Amino acid sequence: MAHQLWLVKSNQLIDITPIVGGISWRSNAAELSIELNFNVAIGPNLPKNPCALGDMVILKNGSLEITRGIILNQKKSGKDPVEYAAYEYGFYLNKSDAVYRFKKVRADDAIRKILRDFNLPIGSIPNFSTSISKIYNNKKVSDIIKDILRQVRRSTGKRYMFEQRNGKMHIVLRQGMKIKATFRLDGTKYNAADFIADPSRDLDVTDMINSVQVVSNDKLVLTKTDKAMIRRFGKFQKTISVDKKKIKEASKNAQSELNQLSKITESGKVVLMGDDRVKAGRVLEINEKYTGLKNDYTIKDVTHNLSNGIHKMTVNLER
């Protein structure tokens, strides 16, 4: 199926694909929003450009909705096509500050309250028993949600992420989201990972944490260490502060943090033929002999480009 870009205007769907040139979209695991970029051709022999700031656009491929967002940026230069940038609803959380005071509030209820306060449609949010007791003063709303999910990770050992699907906000389990990227050529389906371009690979230990201390009321409660990593690379230490009422959870939280951070960070980049399902947070299996990228990798960020009917994607990986 071919990609289509729809404009929502006065509660009507307008197919603007015929006047749209290049389309690209980018998702990043550290952000709560996909950014969609496109340009619209202008000229005396072309239909009037109907796009305006504040309009909603929806990118689809057949029945699959890839992203929908609000046009928040417009750039005009002479007679060149008009360039637009649209952002999913999570962008408002990236750009907004807020004050929240949570006292023994379930993590899922805290997230729902934040989304309701910003009038964002709520999809599925798992039931989190993790209790949140924290004051957030003038913090980015996106950072508040990330911190809540970080506390969930410490208490459960599971990583969750924020994602928009069909216009609703969801919290989804980040582990196990493995996909096999494919593309079609002359009706035949191919594995995108079999045709890798411009691969690169980096190994790094500068962000390693192999010792975690837990303190409460300025007193050391316990220390968790990875002795093998300390012997090999030296000690990289992090301190976690906990409320005295949560000391019972301290050992579990510290071990969870250690499991996540005591490692050699591996990152890489590949260019592949495009698959709309490839988004930040998904897992791709890569086997590239020249750089040594041979494993399952989490997608840190990905940029899709549609140009002249060709769909390619630049994927940044980590593990």
Domain residue spans in the chain? 3-88, 95-173, 197-204+265-318, 211-261
What is the per-residue pLDDT across 89-114, written as a single tens digit (0 to 9) for each? 999 999 999 999 999 999 999 999 99
Phi, psi of 9, deg, nearest 5: -135, 120
What is the per-residue pLDDT across 232-243, written as a single tens digit (0 to 9) for each? 999 999 998 888
pLDDT above 90: residue 154: no
pLDDT above 80: residue 175: no
What is the per-residue pLDDT across 238-292, written as a single tens digit (0 to 9) for each? 998 888 777 778 888 899 899 989 999 999 999 999 999 999 999 999 999 999 9
Query: In the structure encoding, which two tokens stand for residue 103, read together?
Result: 């006292």
What is the per-residue pLDDT across 40-93, written as a single tens digit (0 to 9) for each? 998 888 888 999 999 999 999 999 999 999 999 999 999 899 999 999 999 999
- Could you tell me which CATH number the domain at 95-173 has? 3.55.50.30
Phi, psi of 248, deg, nearest 5: -60, -30
- Cα–Cα dist 125/25, whole Å: 25
Q: What is the chain's mean pLDDT, rounded?
A: 94
pLDDT above 90: residue 167: yes
Please give the torsion angle defined by the CA atoms of residues 61, 62, 67 and 69, in that order, rounded to the nearest 10 degrees: 110
Identify residue 69 by its one-letter amino acid code. G
pLDDT at 81: 94
- Could you tell me which CATH number the domain at 3-88 has? 2.30.300.10
pLDDT at 174: 82
pLDDT at 1: 58
Average pLDDT of span 3-25: 94
The answer, as to whether pTM is greater than 0.95, is: no
Q: Which long-range contacts (CB under 8 A, 24 or more apart) does 99-105 make?
A: 99/136, 99/137, 99/138, 99/139, 100/135, 100/136, 100/139, 100/144, 101/135, 101/136, 102/132, 102/133, 102/134, 102/135, 102/136, 103/133, 104/131, 104/132, 104/133, 105/131, 105/132, 105/133
Q: Which of 32, 38, 48 is nearest to 6 (CA)?
A: 38
Average pLDDT of span 190-205: 97
Give residue 211's pLDDT band: very low, low, confident or very high (50, 70, 90).
Answer: very high
Q: Which of 277, 87, 104, 118 is nearest to 183 (CA)?
A: 277
Report which DSSP code applies to 189: E
Q: For residue 113, give every residue at least 6 positions away whose Cβ sits within 8 Å of its Cβ, in sequence order, or none.
A: 100, 105
pLDDT at 312: 98
Determine the topology of domain 197-204+265-318 in CATH: Elongation Factor Tu (Ef-tu); domain 3 (2.40.30)
pLDDT at 177: 87
